[in-house]
Amino acid sequence: MIDSSVSMEPRIKHNIAPPREAEAMETDGHKNVGSTERSFSALVGGCLAAYGITRGSLAGIALAGLGVALVHRGVSGQCKLYDALKIDTNGTNSEQNVEQALQTRGIHVEQAMLIDKPAADLYRFWRQLDNLPSFMHHLQSVQVLDQKRSHWVTKAPAIAGGSIEWDAEITRDEPDSLIAWRSLPGSGIDTAGQIRFSKAPGNRGTEVHVSMEYVPPAGKLGHWVATLFGEDPRQQMRDDLRSFKSLMEVGEVPSIQGQPRGTCTGSGERATNER
């Protein structure tokens, strides 16, 4: 069973059961490469091998060797280098592994936002989970399955299959003050998070605190690369919270999508891919 004390406090990391690395590592032939990465590895390996063989030179043979190794890595899902570096980009399939993955490979993100509405209003809107895509820009849909469980679909880069899906369950629910959730085992992503609503001083409304942990699909390296290209999860969470605030305070999220703009070549166009 899931321990309900898990993932409740802002610093989730300190509340997760101790890691059992030995247990995870002992099985020989343990799959530690994620499925997208496996296809990619096999494809690149195949190309390298083919190219190396056609070259026929000594360097060509070396390339072909590397290609064959990559194909093996892709087909088997096992990587010796990842083992040595204790990297695992494969999904998890037990509750214990979800916790462990979050602890060893998780990215922790926190943000706070002051919203000039009563906590009860904010809680009510958020608790209706299918409202979330209206202000979370990367979410495609949230389908409420029952009182606790829901199915999430988020946009993802094409190389990761265009979308990531997972089932989540609400692990703690305190009306008007707190909601915590966690992905279920076997999900496309391991994630846990919570939102707290607390009264701000005087008549300033409600302080909203969100914290989230997730295991990035492309590993910490992928996370670092994504950050370089502007996909900073901390800023994404801030943007989403800001949109939540605008929706609650004003009734709409500011947008310039579809407004006119020039082309400098004489024809003009509508702005796309903007928000």
The answer to whether 201 contacts other proteins (rule: CB under 8 A) is no
Alpha-carbon distance 176 to 187, whole Å? Answer: 29
The answer to whether 137 contacts other proteins (rule: CB under 8 A) is no
DSSP β-bridge partners for residue 181: 170, 193
Q: Pick between residue 20 and residue 275 the one whose CB is nearest to other proteins.
A: 275
Single out the segment in contact with other proteins by CB under 8 A; choices: 49-57, 102-110, 178-186, 244-252: 244-252
User: Do 86 and 219 touch, CB atoms closer than 8 A?
Assistant: no
The minimum distance between CB 274 and other proteins, in angstroms, equals 7
Q: Three-class SS string for 211-239?
A: EEEECCCCHHHHHHHHHHCCCCHHHHHHH
Q: List all residues 6 or more positions away from 100 whose beta carbon is below 8 Å from its beta carbon.
A: 16, 17, 19, 20, 24, 92
Structure tokens at 135: 């202000």
For other proteins (CB under 8 A), the number of binding residues is 34
Binding mask of the shown chain, residues 82 to 121, with x at each position contacting other proteins by CB under 8 A? --------------------------------x-x-----
The answer to whether 23 contacts other proteins (rule: CB under 8 A) is no
Single out the segment in contact with other proteins by CB under 8 A; choices: 12-20, 61-69, 146-154, 238-246: 238-246
The answer to whether 239 contacts other proteins (rule: CB under 8 A) is yes
Among 3, 130, 231, 274, binds other proteins (CB under 8 A): 274
The answer to whether 254 contacts other proteins (rule: CB under 8 A) is yes
The answer to whether 18 contacts other proteins (rule: CB under 8 A) is no
User: Do 122 and 208 touch, CB atoms closer than 8 A?
Assistant: yes
Among 54, 57, 263, 273, binds other proteins (CB under 8 A): 263
The minimum distance between CB 134 and other proteins, in angstroms, equals 13
Among 11, 13, 124, 275, binds other proteins (CB under 8 A): 275
Query: Tokens 């979050």 sit at which residue?
Result: 102
Rg (CA), the chain: 22
The minimum distance between CB 262 and other proteins, in angstroms, equals 3
CB neighbours of residue 23 within 10 Å: 11
Q: Residues in the site for other proteins, rule: CB under 8 A?
A: 114, 116, 204-205, 235, 238-239, 242, 245-246, 249-264, 266-271, 274-275
